[in-house]
Amino acid sequence: MEESDKDIVRTLATNGLGGLYAEEILSYTDIDKEKSAKDLSDDEILEIYEALRELFERIEKNPKAQIIIEDVDDKKKNKDLVPISLNKYSSFKTQEFESFNKAADEFYSKKIVNNIKEKEENAWTKKINKYKKRLEMQEESLEGFYKTIEDTQIKGNTIYAHYGEVQEILDVIANARKNYSWQEIGKIIKKSKKEGNTPGLELIESIDKMGVITLNLDGMTVRVDSNLGIAESCEEFYYNKGKKAKRKIEGVKNAIENSKAQIEKLENKKEVAMSELKTHQKREKKQLKWYEKLRWFITSDGYMVIGGRDAHSNEQVVKRYSKSNDIYFHCDIHGAPSTIVQNDNNDEAIPESTLYEAACFASSYSSAWGEGFSSYDAYWVNLDQVSKTPEAGEFLKKGSFVIRGRKNFIRNVPVLIAVGVVDYDDDKRIMAGSVDAVRRMSDSYVILKPGFTKKERMAKEVLHLIDKDNLFNVDDIVRNLPSGKCDILDEREYNQKYAKKS
């Protein structure tokens, strides 16, 4: 304290307490927070020490984790997160929690969601405003066409209303043209108008070097080409323009309707998108079952099929999660997972349908997916044919196995998976595997094929389509997708091409 050249509140704040808690400590005392720290008496220093102890004791023994809420523009907004009731916020509304962790989860997750909502709102507004600007320009164009039709009609009709006077002017100019150029006639008219000794010239404003006369009729400026005459001039300068404008009106009206429809469509999409961004819905992080840490699905016949995700889990699948009567699947392509059909019932023969579905699974999670194959070959062997012992002089990488004996190939199985929400093992889970197997267990699924959409973007789309109860997140979907880009396959197309084969 003696070495500080600041007031006491700043001294406390800059020594690890921060401004909020420095003021809270001083509020427990009668000391002026602006008093210089070096001027404190021994009793005042002791008083601050006791206040500091009181603060920490309250945090330790009587915590009241809470979010401080303030009203901003008639909306409730989270202002701060504190572990105890503070004097500074005594006039504010609060939301209390049973633990600081829960309060922090609510405070920061809501903050993140609000930031996402704001960005989403701005993105939609930008899209909609683009069409609104287009609509505004189209409506201005329509208004301009209507005005052109009206103006040209009025001007053409006005010329005809003064037909005799205009014709007389044209006759006079036609006679003058025999002896003078257009430029000379213009100068003569200008001079005569100035002298005011020639009647009828007050209607003429000017004449250009091509013989086009600008007239003032009933306070309106109109043009007549002395080379064409009245009728053709009206058509050329006015009536034809009006006709062109009329022809364009229908197209502009259609464009306006299209823009309005597009705006309405985008606003509806915005409404749906914003409604899905709930202010905050806390999800308890699910503990994954052992099989969810691998690749897995349940076949149409009820067999569990598991596959490795990498070299380490390929080893686990065979060494830890398989038994002697299980079936091993693989593909002759780099990056294929070790896949096991678990025969928990010790059946003498695994059904053909399960073997086929396991072959689809093994092929789809191999690099055949990333390379864009629509079908591939898989094979199965008994587990006693799978070994970690290489031939003499050979080396086996981690996750690799030697297959000895006959391989039972299943040719040209489709490289496809379905991803859906299933009720399994007393909970809702994401399952990805053979299309027929997923369809049997799920009412909410999509079929995927190798494609061109990035994995993360596709995961968001899949989540939106299958997770109606908002139980999962994007990571839950990503974890179940093959390595590589993909697209959604329409179910009708699947039924036409593949259903009979499986």
Q: What is the pLDDT of residues 374-409, one digit of tens each?
A: 999 999 999 999 998 887 777 878 888 999 999 999
- Regarding whether 307 and 234 lie in a shared domain, the answer is no
> Residue 447: pLDDT above 90?
yes
- Regarding whether 361 and 225 lie in a shared domain, the answer is no
> Residue 501: pLDDT above 50?
no
As a whole number of angstroms, the distance between CA 493 and CA 485 comes to 19
- Regarding whether 497 and 370 lie in a shared domain, the answer is yes
Helices within 162-239 (DSSP H only): 163-176, 182-195, 230-234
Give pLDDT tens digits for 186-242. 888 777 777 666 666 778 888 888 889 999 999 999 999 988 999 999 999 999 999
Look at residues 241, 261, 278 and tell me which one is the last residue of a structural domain. 241
Q: What is the domain count for the chain?
A: 4
- Regarding whether 337 and 221 lie in a shared domain, the answer is no
- Regarding whether 435 and 320 lie in a shared domain, the answer is yes
Report percent pLDDT > 90 for the chain.
50
Q: Residue 350 falls within a domain, yes or no?
A: yes
What is the four-CA torsion angle of 102, 105, 107, 113, rounded to 10 degrees?
-150
* More confident position, 104 or 140: 140
Q: Residue 139 falls within a domain, yes or no?
A: no
> Residue 445: pLDDT above 90?
yes
The domain in which residue 91 lies consists of 65-96
What is the model's pLDDT at position 108?
76
- Mapped onto helix, strand or coil, the DSSP state of residue 295 is strand
Mean pLDDT across 275-301: 77
As a whole number of angstroms, the distance between CA 331 and CA 366 comes to 7
pLDDT band at 280 (very low <50, low <70, confident <90, very high): very low
- Regarding whether 482 and 377 lie in a shared domain, the answer is yes
Q: Residue 277 falls within a domain, yes or no?
A: no
Helix (H) and strand (E) counts in the chain: 15, 18
* More confident position, 137 or 33: 137
> Residue 305: pLDDT above 90?
yes
Q: Mean pLDDT check: name the lowest of 94-98, 250-254, 356-360.
A: 94-98
Q: How many residues are present in the chain?
A: 502
- Regarding whether 434 and 351 lie in a shared domain, the answer is yes
- Regarding whether 432 and 453 lie in a shared domain, the answer is yes
As a whole number of angstroms, the distance between CA 487 and CA 453 comes to 6
Q: Residue 285 falls within a domain, yes or no?
A: no
For the chain, the first-to-last Cα distance in angstroms comes to 82
- Regarding whether 303 and 235 lie in a shared domain, the answer is no
What is the model's pLDDT at position 197?
61
Model pTM score:
0.49
Give pLDDT tens digits for 131-161. 999 999 999 999 999 999 999 999 999 999 9
Look at residues 9, 41, 62 and tell me which one is the last residue of a structural domain. 62
